[in-house]
Amino acid sequence: MSILSINNVSKSYGSGSSKVDVLKNINLEVENGEFLAIVGFSGSGKTTLMQMLAGLVQPDRGEIIFKGEKVTGPSAERGMIFQNYSLLPWLTVYENVALSVNAIYKDKSKVIKDRIIRESVEMVNLTPAINKKPKELSGGMRQRVSVARALAVDPELLLMDEPLSALDALTRGNLQDEILNIWSKNKRTAILITNDVDEGILMADRIIPLDPGPNATFGPEFKIDLERPRDKTAMNHDPRFKQIRNNIIEYLMDIGEGRKSTETEEFILPDLQPIIKGSSLKKVA
């Protein structure tokens, strides 16, 4: 059964000559318990789409339906891990995670909330830094805090906007496993934006490309019918994995080529001569 529907959604920013038409008439159904990955080009509107799913930005046209109700604002049921970690600088790691745990689990006892916070911090291997403030942490550590903060409150729909892209390979691998654990153990629904096709194949049931904007729309879906749990190393030798990977990369390269040729047509630089002492700038005919 579908838990989330995107129905004919369009979104632009600005007006007049500075208007940017980001997304045009996009449609999508996400099944309850599904793990969906969206891959796409920089600036195609992936973050805009996630912000609309989180209820932080409203579509100009169309609607987003979550569990039968129109999304009109943020909700604890739809948790988001942002690309930039958005921590409060004056709070420690513990306090940053506590902020969302206290807001969502109002009825739980202090002892239980303390346990949830500590377990979440431990899950991202930050227990030694639990009393540190963001400025004392590396970028990767800050991103891990924001992952812990989102996973601690176990949202029904987990929205992830390239949450792992700035991390080293080892931490990235550990967090991929943790996200998959929580998703499968608690039977949650997840949408991940990633620029890494291998990460999408490792984690998702389905990968959908967002074609380049302006007026971006979804490309064809690629089903990832590989058995779970998936082993990163073993997958590299699996012919089915290689075939899926090739199909997706080929599609993205074809779309990228199309984009490059339009860009060349659109931006032809004027042929100018440099300013020579005592003369003015001349345009060569």
Ligand X SMILES: Nc1ncnc2c1ncn2[C@@H]1O[C@H](COP(=O)(O)OP(=O)(O)OP(=O)(O)O)[C@@H](O)[C@H]1O
> Which residue's structure tokens are 């020579």?
276
Shortest separation between residue 48's beta carbon and ligand X, angstroms: 3
Beta carbon nearer to ligand X, 22 or 104: 22
- Among positions 234-263, residues that touch ligand X (CB under 6 A) are none
Shortest separation between residue 84's beta carbon and ligand X, angstroms: 10
- Among positions 9-38, residues that touch ligand X (CB under 6 A) are 13-14, 20, 22
Contacts of 229 (CB under 8 A, 6+ apart): 180
Specify whether the CB–CB gap between 78 and 159 falls below 8 A.
Answer: yes
**CA-CA distance, 158 to 9, in Å (whole number)?**
20
Shortest separation between residue 195's beta carbon and ligand X, angstroms: 7
Beta carbon nearer to ligand X, 48 or 92: 48
Q: What single-letter DSSP state applies at residue 188?
A: -
The count of chain residues that interact with ligand X, using the rule CB under 6 A, is 12
- Which position among 5, 32, 47, 174 is part of the footprint of ligand X (CB under 6 A)? 47
**CA-CA distance, 265 to 64, in Å (whole number)?**
36
Shortest separation between residue 230's beta carbon and ligand X, angstroms: 25
Shortest separation between residue 214's beta carbon and ligand X, angstroms: 8
Contact between 44 and ligand X (CB under 6 A)? yes
- Which position among 34, 38, 39, 45 is part of the footprint of ligand X (CB under 6 A)? 45
Q: What single-letter DSSP state applies at residue 272?
A: B
**CA-CA distance, 162 to 248, in Å (whole number)?**
18
- Which position among 7, 10, 43, 217 is part of the footprint of ligand X (CB under 6 A)? 43
Shortest separation between residue 42's beta carbon and ligand X, angstroms: 4
Kindly list the strands in the beta sheet with 61-66, ordered across the sheet, starting from the edge strand earlier in the chain: 20-31, 2-13, 61-66, 69-70
3 state SS of 255: helix
Tokens for 59? 């579509």
Beta carbon nearer to ligand X, 129 or 248: 248
Beta carbon nearer to ligand X, 54 or 117: 54
Contact between 4 and ligand X (CB under 6 A)? no
Q: How many CA atoms lie within 13 A of 47 on its CB side?
A: 8
**CA-CA distance, 276 to 181, in Å (whole number)?**
66
Residues found near ligand X in the complex (CB under 6 A): 13-14, 20, 22, 40, 42-48
